[in-house]
Structure formats: structure tokens, C-alpha cells
Amino acid sequence: MLVQTSLGLRTIVQRLHIIPPAIWLSALWLAALFAISLAADLLTPTDALISNLRMRLHPPVLFGGAFDHILGTDQLGRDMLSRLIISIKTSMSIAFLGTVIGAVLGTTLGLVAGAVRGIADDFIMMLVDVQAALPFIIVAMASIAFFGNTFWLFVAVVGVFGWERYARIARGMTLAAREEGYAVATSHIGGGPVRVYVLHILPNIASALIVAFTLNFPETLLLETTLSFLGLGVQPPQTSLGTMLGEGREYLVNAWWIAVIPGVVVALASLSTSLIGDWLRDVLDPKIKGKR
């Protein structure tokens, strides 16, 4: 569902005025994750990589553990809290970087398709079709298999994810916007295509793209954690939420917290963003209000 372009800043601010508590909590959780990622190096109580085999598999505080390791220790005796903070930083950075790459790539291709039309448009739309024919995780896994898994390749693969959503939105809205008065006027007074499309049309279709961005972020986060969980993403000694979960899968019998703690962080992040995404959609598109 596309968002209306004609929505003014004032109406958006007015509608944002009434924010339900669940949305507040969700936003707070995401803000906390961002803050933790930014201040990760200051926050870790101990070095996340130091292992201490005499302290292996200690449970968290409320489950019989001691206060020197609040969230317990893992299979190598590393402090869970420190590893969790570092993992949040890695996962959030990759997800954010990935979402930005996807947004830039998709928006550019969509704008080009809508502006140039003809063969370029057909070609880009064909790529969108092909993308829709394969679940992205399969494409990502195949790229990792063919080109080997390095950190930046992984970021690039995660970044490509979701490009077709932006491309579709940008193309559709560009096609509509180029007929509108302001775009026609700009080109009539001699504005070149870059001026018309980048300076005038892009800002006018930005609100829909921003909604797509908020919807895409949790999906990118999940893609990263899923691939890392499968052992195909972030490689040790680096650690992400997915890597921790994957390691925890092996220790479910005697150390549930290794898998459950990062899992809760991911699940809450995903839940928060879908709540915010749903709410944003309702707020920005009054036509479907109350139906979702």
C-alpha cells in the first residue's frame, strides 16, 4: 500500500501527537539498541573476547549466578553481557549499513526506470521480477558460496536485500509525479532531468520511501542474524546476535541462556519495528485506518 504524497508535514505532526504506549516502548527499545551500539566500547564490563575456562557456563544472576557475570558466561567462560553488547553493535551496524545500501541502490534504479523509461525501465523491472522469483536468503547464500565469505562481501549481500521494494515504489511514484504540475513546470522553465528528478520529485516521494526504510530495517536485521545463526554470516572471533544464537543451539541442554538472551533481543527488536511500522502505516494512510 503506497502512502499518499500530498500529505503535509503539519498533518503528519498532528497525527503523531497521539502515540499509544506500545509504540513508546517499541521506540524506546530501538533507541536503547542504537545507543548501546554507539557506546558499545564504553559499556562492556569486561573484554568480550577473554575466555576463562574455569568460569564456563555460569548461569545469569537470577538463576543462581554471581554478580560478576550478570548474564552468566558462555561455553568458553566469556562474559555474556559484554558479548551481547558487542553483538548488538555488530548486528545493528550491519543492518543499518545494509538498509542504507539497499535504499540508495533501489531508489536510484527506481528513479532511473521512471525517468528514462523504455529499455532501461524494462530491464530494471525484469531484474525486479527475477528477484521476486527467488527468496533472498537463497540468493545471499549462493553469493556467499560462490565468492567466499568475507566481512565486506557479507555486508554487500545483506545490503542488496530489499532493493526491489524501493525500486518499485520509486518507479511507480516517479511515473505519477512526472505528470504533476510542479515537475512539468520545472522542466518547462529549463530545469534539466537531474534538477527535476533529484531536487523536485525525490523529496516529494520521500515519505513512502521512509516508511519502506522502517519496514526494511528489521528484515535486514533478521537476514543478518539468520545467516550468522546458520554459520554463514559474521565469523568468529567477531560476534553478532545470530552467531551467539547459533553457538547457543549446541548448549541448550545445560546452558539455555546462551541462545535465549540474544534471541530475546532480536525478537523484541523485530516486534518493536513491526509495531512501529504498522502504526506508521495507519497514521500516514488514513484510508485503511482501523483495518489492520
Partner 1 sequence: MTEFIIGKFIRMFVALLVIVTLTFIVLRTSGDPAQTFLPPDASPKTVEDFREKWGLDRPLPDQYLAYLKNVMGGDLGHSFVDGRPASQVVGERIPKTLLLLGTSFFLMLAMGFPLGIISALKHNTWVDRLVMSIAVFGYSLPNFFLGILLILFFSMYLRWLPSTGSGTWQHLIMPVVTIGTAGAAVIARFVRSAMLEVISKPYVRSAKARGLSRFTVVVRHALPNAAIPTVTVIGFLLGSLIAGAVVTEAVFAWPGIGRLTVTAVASRDLAVVQTIVLLIAVTMVCVNLIVDLLYGWLDPRIRDGLQKGRN
Binding site for partner 1 (CB under 8 A): 126-127, 129-130, 132-139, 141-148, 218, 222, 225-226, 229-232, 245, 248-249, 252-253, 256, 259-260, 263, 266-267, 270-271, 274-275, 278, 288, 290-292
Toward partner 1, which CB reaches closer, 111 or 144?
Answer: 144
> The C-alpha cell of 22 is what?
506500545
> At residue 59, what is the residue type?
P
Distance CA 248, CA 233 (A): 16
Toward partner 1, which CB reaches closer, 13 or 138?
Answer: 138
Residue 143: CB minimum distance to partner 1, A? 8
Q: Are 137 and 226 in contact (CB under 8 A)?
A: yes
Residue 86: CB minimum distance to partner 1, A? 19
Distance CA 178, CA 268 (A): 41
Residue 259: CB minimum distance to partner 1, A? 5
Runs of H (alpha helix) within the chain: 9-16, 21-38, 40-43, 80-116, 118-132, 136-147, 151-160, 163-177, 181-188, 193-194, 202-229, 241-249, 257-284
Residue 141: CB minimum distance to partner 1, A? 5
Distance CA 81, CA 46 (A): 9
Toward partner 1, which CB reaches closer, 116 or 249?
Answer: 249
Q: Which residues contact 239 (CB under 8 A, 6 or more apart)?
A: 48, 83, 86, 87, 90
Residue 149: CB minimum distance to partner 1, A? 9
Residue 90: CB minimum distance to partner 1, A? 17
Q: Which residues contact 186 (CB under 8 A, 6 or more apart)?
A: 195, 196, 200
Toward partner 1, which CB reaches closer, 32 or 141?
Answer: 141
Toward partner 1, which CB reaches closer, 140 or 201?
Answer: 140
Toward partner 1, which CB reaches closer, 19 or 230?
Answer: 230
Distance CA 92, CA 46 (A): 21
